[in-house]
Amino acid sequence: MLRIEREVVHALLDTADTEHRARVEAWVEGCLDDMPELLRAGVQAESLLVTAWHRLRGTDLGSLLDAMERNPIGLVQQYPRLFRSLVLFGDLELAAPAR
């Protein structure tokens, strides 16, 4: 998992519980590592672009992800949606009593 991807995960998490954050991060990392190679390569390429934008423009990561999600280009939208989905599912399923 790239550094920016860890930062994205943490930007999407609300909780201050460090152990829980680490568990969710590990879940997302497992999912990314296990993705089909070609999809993973696409996500990594987008992560590099997000890194560049975030660093060069100094944009807050949360705002950048929100803006990406509103972008009309499907590939750009998919990036924050992927991370939001993984973080949300991991956050709830790792925190809640099993159901």
Partner 1 sequence: MTELDTEVLVVGSGAGGATTAVTLAEGGRDVVVLEEGPWIAPDRAEAFSLEEMALQYRHHGSSAALGNPPVAYAEGRCVGGSTEVNSGLWHRIPGELAERWRHEYDIDGFEPETLDRYAGLVEGWQSVSPLPGEAPASSAALADGADRLGWRAVEFPRVYRYPQGGRAEKQTMTRTLLPRAVGAGARVQPDSRVHRLLRRNGRVTGAIVRRRRPDGTTEQLTVRADHVVVCGGAVHTPALLQRSGLRRGIGGGLKMHPTIKLVARFPQAVDHDDVPPHRITEFSPDIAIGGSASRRGHIALALADGGADATPADWEQMFVYYAAIRSDAGGRVIAVPGAATPLVSYRITDADLSRLARGLVQLGRALLEAGATELHPSVRGGTVARTPGDLARWWDEIDRSTANLMTVHLTSSVRMGQAPGRTGADSWGRVHGVTGLRVNDASLVPDAPGVNPQAAIMTIAARNADHLLDELRS
Q: Which is nearer to partner 1, 52 or 92 (CB)?
A: 92
CA dist 19 and 49 (Å) reads: 29
45 versus 92: smaller Cβ distance to partner 1: 92
From the CB of 92, what's the least distance to partner 1, in Å? Answer: 5
Nearer to partner 1, 4 or 82 (CB): 82
Q: What would the two tokens of residue 16 be?
A: 């201050």
Spatial CA neighbour of 10 closest among 90, 87, 94, 95: 87
Q: Which residue ranges make up the site for partner 1 (CB under 8 A)?
A: 27, 30-31, 34-39, 72, 74, 77-78, 82, 84-86, 88-90, 92-94, 96, 98-99
Closest to 48 (Cα-Cα) out of 1, 2, 85: 2
Residue at 29: amino acid letter? E
Q: Tell me the closest approach of the beta carbon of residue 66 to partner 1, in angstroms.
A: 11
